[in-house]
Amino acid sequence: SGGNTVIGDGTKIDNLVQIAHNVRIGRHCIITAQVGIAGSTVLEDCVAVGGHSAIAGHLHIGHGAQVAAASRLMR
């Protein structure tokens, strides 16, 4: 078992999205379909993640970042 996952106010999450343990998603983020976010990752406010993307665990994605569709963030 992991820590709590927290999703900020105003964040929109599309279908077929996997969000793991201990993930913190900021306010007003957009996560589109078929995205996977591994454990202990932080997305700051206003992050947009394009469809069919994968974000590895223990990463910190900064405020306003835009992740293109079909991306793989590994470090």
Which residues are identified as catalytic?
21
Q: From CA 23, how far away is CA 27, in angstroms rounded? A: 13
Asked if 18 and 36 count as a contact pair (C-beta separation under 8 A), the reply is yes
